[in-house]
Amino acid sequence: MKTLAMMMVFLASTVFVANAQDVVGDWHGTLNPPGVELRLVLHITKGEGGELKATLDSVDQAANGIPVSAITVKDSQMNLTVEAVHGTYEGKVNSAATEIEGTWSQGQPLPLVFKRGALPAKPAPKPAKPSDIDGTWMGTLDAGAMKLRVVFHITNTEEGLTATMDSPDQNVKGLPVTSVTRDGASLKLDLKQIPGAFEGKIAKDLTTIEGTWTQGGGGFPLVLKQVKDAAELERRRPQNPVKPYPYRDEEVSYANPAASIKLAATLTIPPGQGPFPAVLLIVGSGPHDRDEALMGHRPFLVLADYLTRHGIAVLRADKRGVGKSGGNSATATTADFATDAEAGVAYLRGRPEVNPRKIGLVGHSEGGIIAPMVAARNADVAFIVMLAGTGVPGDQILVAQSRLIAEAAGKSPAEAEKNANEQRGVLALVKNEKDNAALESELRKRMAGKGSEAQVDAQIKVITSPWFRYFLTYDPAENLRKVWCPVLALNGEKDLQVSPALNLPAIRQALEQGGNKHFEADELPGLNHLFQTARTGAPSEYAEIEETMSPVALEKIADWILKQ
Give the DSSP per-residue string, 388-444.
S--SS-HHHHHHHHHHHHHHHTT--HHHHHHHHHHHHHHHHHHHH---HHHHHHHHH
Q: 539 and 452 in one domain?
A: no
Question: First vs last Cα of the chain: how many Å apart?
Answer: 45
As a whole number, mean pLDDT of residues 526-536 equals 97
What's the domain count of the chain? 4
Residue 207 has a pLDDT of: 93
Residue 398 pLDDT class (50, 70, 90 cuts): very high
Question: Is 129 within a domain?
Answer: no
CATH code where residue 495 lies: 3.40.50.1820
Question: Is 554 within a domain?
Answer: yes
Q: 86 and 25 in one domain?
A: yes
Question: Is 239 within a domain?
Answer: no
Among candidate residues 407, 437, 471, the one where a domain is terminated: 471
Assess whether pLDDT exceeds 80 at residue 79: yes
Among candidate residues 172, 205, 233, the one where a domain is terminated: 233
Judged by average pLDDT, the poorest of 32-41, 253-262, 284-293, 507-516 is: 32-41
Residue 64 has a pLDDT of: 81
Residue 263 has a pLDDT of: 95
Supply the angle between the helices 436-447 and 413-432 in degrees, to the nearest 10.
Answer: 160
Which of 93-107, 111-125, 342-356, 424-438 is the most confident on average? 342-356
Q: 480 and 383 in one domain?
A: yes
Of 46, 331, 70, the closest CA to residue 78 belongs to 70
Question: Is 91 within a domain?
Answer: yes
Alpha carbons 33 and 210: distance in angstroms, whole number: 31
Q: What is the DSSP letter of 484?
A: -
Q: How far is CA 513 from CA 364, 481, 484, in A?
A: 23, 6, 11
Q: 485 and 461 in one domain?
A: no
Question: Is 281 within a domain?
Answer: yes
pTM of the model: 0.76
DSSP element (H, E) containing 506: helix 500-513
Q: 376 and 287 in one domain?
A: yes
Instruction: Convert 251-283 into a string of H (helix), E (strand) and C (coil).
Output: EEEEEECCCCEEEEEEEEECCCCCCEEEEEEEC
Alpha carbons 470 and 492: distance in angstroms, whole number: 25
Residue 452 has a pLDDT of: 66
Query: Each residue of 283-297: pLDDT tens digit?
Result: 999 889 999 998 889
Q: What percent of the chain has pLDDT over 90?
A: 64
Residue 5 has a pLDDT of: 33
Among candidate residues 184, 209, 233, the one where a domain is terminated: 233
CATH code where residue 173 lies: 2.40.128
DSSP element (H, E) containing 472: helix 466-473
Assess whether pLDDT exceeds 70 at residue 543: yes
Q: 419 and 449 in one domain?
A: yes
Question: Is 186 within a domain?
Answer: yes
Q: 112 and 25 in one domain?
A: yes
Assess whether pLDDT exceeds 50 at residue 165: yes
As a whole number, mean pLDDT of residues 319-337 equals 89
Question: Is 240 within a domain?
Answer: no
Average of per-residue pLDDT values in the chain? 89
As a whole number, mean pLDDT of residues 209-213 equals 95
DSSP element (H, E) containing 227: strand 218-227
Residue 145 has a pLDDT of: 65
Residue 229 pLDDT class (50, 70, 90 cuts): confident
Q: 388 and 510 in one domain?
A: yes
What residue type is 335 in one-letter code?
A
Residue 451 has a pLDDT of: 67
As a whole number, mean pLDDT of residues 448-456 equals 71
Q: 168 and 69 in one domain?
A: no
As a whole number, mean pLDDT of residues 441-458 equals 78
Residue 546 pLDDT class (50, 70, 90 cuts): very high
Q: 368 and 260 in one domain?
A: yes
Domain ranges, residue 23: 2-116
Alpha carbons 467 and 83: distance in angstroms, whole number: 14
Which of 3-12, 18-27, 60-69, 366-375 is the most confident on average? 366-375
Q: 443 and 346 in one domain?
A: no
Question: Is 223 within a domain?
Answer: yes
Q: 58 and 74 in one domain?
A: yes
Higher-confidence residue: 543 or 383?
383
Q: What percent of the chain has pLDDT over 70?
A: 94
Torsion angles phi and psi, residue 413, rounded to 5 = -55, -35
Of 229, 537, 253, the closest CA to residue 407 belongs to 537
